[in-house]
């Protein structure tokens, strides 16, 4: 029997947590250039908490919306400051769009990424060009919608998403921060990749490699 969708989604969160652990020091270094050097630690704590909470779910019974809602609550409990509510809102929105869905097909994956991006945008009241995680998530969401509309296969779908997120994150190098802690250093933020955009790429790459696999 093929692995159920809830299990695949839990595996995805495990893959994200592992990837964030591997990049933890690098993410904190990026944050140190323009912020308080805690971004790697923050994201690590958040996803370790998500992993721990998801381990308690009964995956024979849980729906993919339960997995997303559990991730939202766990992330918010573990990470109080800025990034916490943004990812919590993102996962909660994702939980809403997958309500009743039992398959993680490309349309559902696109809906998850789109819901996460728009949830973050509304919660953070931001937009592209602000030098934040939105500079990775919004292009990723656009790429997902475009790939779906073009009927791309899974490889092309995920490749486009990751490439768009990477390009968006790299573009933050030439932006001046206007939001969050980095806004306090304004011009000094020029030349540095936004740590939130960088961690978004880590997350989306992990999502891609985990979900782009036969169920
Ligand atoms: Mg920080």
Mean pLDDT taken over the chain:
94
pLDDT band, residue 215 (cuts 50/70/90): low
- Between CA 63 and CA 168 the distance in angstroms is 32
Tens digits of per-residue pLDDT, 163-187?
A: 999 999 999 999 988 777 777 777 7
The predicted model scores a pTM of 0.95
How confident is the model over 10-39, as a mean pLDDT? 95
8 Cα–ligand 1 center, Å: 31
Cα 105 to Cα 4, 61, 64, 214, distances in angstroms:
12, 19, 12, 11
Q: Which of 201, 158, 205 is nearest to 30 (CA)?
A: 201
Look at the domain 5-211 and name its fold. 1.25.40
213 Cα–ligand 1 center, Å: 33
Tens digits of per-residue pLDDT, 131-164?
A: 999 999 999 999 999 999 999 999 999 999 999 9
- Between CA 125 and CA 161 the distance in angstroms is 23
Q: Name the least confident of 3-7, 65-69, 135-139, 154-158.
A: 3-7
98 Cα–ligand 1 center, Å: 31
Q: Where are the domains of the chain?
A: 5-211
150 Cα–ligand 1 center, Å: 38
Query: Buried b vs exposed e over 63-87: b needs ≥16 C-beta within 10 Å?
Result: bbbbbbbbbbbbbbebbeebbbbbb
36 Cα–ligand 1 center, Å: 4
More confident of the two residues 36 and 182: 36
Helix (H, G, I), strand (E, B) or coil at 176: coil
pLDDT of residue 78: 97
pLDDT of residue 1: 38
60 Cα–ligand 1 center, Å: 38
How confident is the model over 103-125, as a mean pLDDT? 97
Cα 71 to Cα 49, 52, 111, 113, distances in angstroms:
8, 10, 17, 15
How confident is the model over 182-208, as a mean pLDDT? 90
75 Cα–ligand 1 center, Å: 16
What is the percent of the chain with per-residue pLDDT over 70, rounded to a whole number?
A: 98
């Amino acid at each position: 029997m093929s692995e159920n969708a809830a299990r695949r989604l839990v595996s995805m969160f495990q893959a994200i947590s592992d990837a964030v652990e591997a990049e933890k020091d690098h993410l904190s270094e990026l944050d140190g250039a323009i912020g308080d050097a805690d971004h790697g630690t923050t994201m690590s704590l958040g996803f370790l908490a998500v992993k721990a909470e998801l381990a308690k779910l009964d995956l024979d019974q849980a729906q993919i919306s339960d997995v997303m809602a559990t991730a939202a609550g766990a992330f918010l409990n573990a990470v109080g400051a800025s990034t916490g509510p943004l990812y919590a809102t993102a996962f909660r929105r994702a939980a809403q769009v997958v309500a009743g869905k039992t398959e993680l097909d490309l349309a559902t994956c696109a809906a998850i990424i789109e819901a996460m991006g728009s949830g973050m945008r509304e919660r953070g009241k931001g937009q592209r060009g602000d030098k934040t995680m939105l500079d990775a998530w919004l292009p990723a969401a656009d790429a997902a919608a475009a790939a779906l509309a073009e009927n791309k296969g899974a490889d092309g779908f995920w490749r486009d998403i990751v490439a768009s997120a990477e390009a968006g994150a790299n573009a933050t190098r030439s932006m001046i921060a206007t939001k969050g802690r980095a806004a306090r250093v304004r011009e000094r933020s020029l030349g540095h990749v936004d740590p939130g955009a960088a961690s978004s790429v880590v997350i989306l790459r992990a999502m891609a490699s985990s979900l782009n696999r036969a169920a």
